[in-house]
Structure 1
Amino acid sequence: IAENTLVVYSTDHGHFLGQHGLIAKGAFHYEDMLRIPMLARYPGVIPAGVRSETLQCQVDWPVTFLSAAGIPVPGLMQGVDQLAVWGGDERGARDHVLVENRHNPTTVHLRTLVTERFKITVYRDAAYGELFDLERDPEELHNGWDDPAYAEVKGELLLHFVQAEIQREPTRMPRIAGA
């Protein structure tokens, strides 16, 4: 079993330890909350010591597990097969990640599109948001949402965001005759 089993170890989210004035977890999509470590072992497929900084998401795990097991992936699954990336392919399997927080009516509702360089966050029922250039501002201290220097980037990211949301198909439930 030890020589032919894919083992993945990770967590569901990061934790704030004073960054941005926050303690514990929260609804805010700063890198400290989103970028989480993940370890994977799969003898003969994932070489020891492989590291990747490519964009990945936990929704990719079920698709990747099915792929590793040689099981066809149902067409409606939202994830992307990351097995090649875990095996050392540095190209990455996706160009963005979508993140959302909408647990209940009393919390902040927000959605975020993360690309290799930028992150844009939109809040429900709000005319403001957040836009961070992760290359120039890795600590996310300068919000470029209203910065004229980022106006064109903001428009491109919002369009990318809308397209990503449109492509994200909800899981269709089976129809019951007569219902």
Structure 2
Amino acid sequence: LHRMQGTHQPFFCCMSVVDPHSPYTNYPKEYADYLDIDALPEPFAVDESFDHRPIAHRREHNGRSFPSTDTLRESRIGYHAAITLIDEQIGRVLQTLNDTNFADNTIVIFASDHGDMLGDHGLTVKGAYMYDACTRVPMIIRAPDTSGGQIIDAPCQLHDIAATALAIAGCEQTDLMPDACDLLDTNALQQRGHAVCMHRNSSTTRGGYHNPELHITMWRENRYKLSIYHAPQPGPDDCPGELFDMETDPDEMNNLWFDADMSDTRDQLIHKLTTFLVQQDAQGRARGSEALPP
């Protein structure tokens, strides 16, 4: 930023940081001193039964030793300490934007790829599941001529970042992002009304954790979240999916997939999701693999 000062040359800078990331032990210990450790939230549903959970959850849970209560608490402390560390580094960037007089003409976007379960629902790290702890992550945008303090509750996706930056810069959105929205256009965002998340994991070796493959697709609207687990060879006790009412059950404790009263809602969401997947597959632009699972 100091080198760019006075050049009047547009610039793009991506600051990619690893933290917070498991195992949450490699952080300067003084950052834990900023925390009110007693106020840190405890994980919930740690002892939740896996008997009727999707096979991906059971493989994740059974494939490793679940940490002890003390180890899990240390991880949660390390996680929040790492967040404090990153907050400080972002603060340095924002201060430098002010010092170099770029602040009033620079778009700043903070985002992340995924969260961490940290013990919630008896699970750790990221994985083959679509709970909010993994899929709902912070996104903050500061842009010129945009009033601060706005909170947007509509579902959004990471590819909306590009559409938003293009819109702020006065550029047209390209046909490469037909489903992307300008996040500052709340009308368009509410009209779209959904977000999609795909998990496509496979292995090149036999007998490993990702063999057979784990494929999961989530459709999220303001109220409902639908997740479908595409097991190559589902067993008789496998749960094929999850349906949560995020208004009445924000902690995702009551799976409505098999609820007869919710069958119409479930089928409507499945139809929306499959329609979306077929359209994505037809465009041939899926990252890493086909949009449609095997």
Among 155, 172, 197, the residue aligned to 1:55 = 155
Identity %: 31
Among 198, 211, 222, the residue aligned to 1:100 = 198
1:144 matches 2:256: yes
Name which of structure 1's ranges 99-108 and 3-12 shifts more when overlaid on structure 2: 99-108
1:8 matches 2:8: no
After superposition, what is the alpha-carbon deviation per residue over 1:71-91, rounded to whole angstroms, capped at 9, x for unaligned? 222113142222323xxx696
Among 156, 162, 175, the residue aligned to 2:274 = 162
Cα distance in 2 for partners of 1:159, 1:74 equals 27
Distance 1:70 1:91, change over 3 A: closer
**Number of positions where the alignment pairs a residue of Structure 1 with one of Structure 2:** 168
Among 118, 122, 139, the residue aligned to 1:21 = 122
Give TM-score, length-normalised by structure 1: 0.84
1:34 maps to what in 2?
135
1:177 maps to what in 2?
none
The 3-state SS of whatever aligns with 1:138 is coil
Conserved in 2, the CA contact under 8 Å of 1:6 and 1:42?
yes
Is there any run of 5+ residues in structure 2 with no aligned partner, and where? 1-101, 204-209, 287-294
Partner amino acid, structure 1, of 2:166: L
Deviation at 1:136, TM superposition (A): 1.7
Matches within 5 A, 1:80-99: 80-85=181-186, 92=190, 94-99=192-197
1:118 maps to what in 2?
224
Partner amino acid, structure 2, of 1:121: S
Q: Which has the higher strand share?
A: 1
Partner amino acid, structure 1, of 2:259: D
Cα distance in 2 for partners of 1:171, 1:33 equals 24
Cα distance in 1 for partners of 2:176, 2:124 equals 37
Conserved in 1, the CA contact under 8 Å of 2:143 and 2:168?
no
Cα distance in 2 for partners of 1:136, 1:33 equals 20
1:66 maps to what in 2?
166
Distance 1:84 1:35, change over 3 A: same
The alignment yields a C-alpha RMSD, in angstroms, of 2.1
Cα distance in 2 for partners of 1:97, 1:59 equals 11
Q: Which has the higher helix share?
A: 2
After superposition, what is the alpha-carbon deviation per residue over 1:13-64, rounded to whole angstroms, capped at 9, x for unaligned? 111121110111212100111111111111312x121111111110111111
Regions of 4+ moved over 6 Å: none
Is there any run of 5+ residues in structure 1 with no aligned partner, and where? 173-179
Conserved in 1, the CA contact under 8 Å of 2:182 and 2:188?
no
Partner amino acid, structure 2, of 1:111: T
Please identify the structure whose Cα radius of gyration is greater: 2
The 3-state SS of whatever aligns with 2:185 is helix
Conserved in 2, the CA contact under 8 Å of 1:80 and 1:93?
no
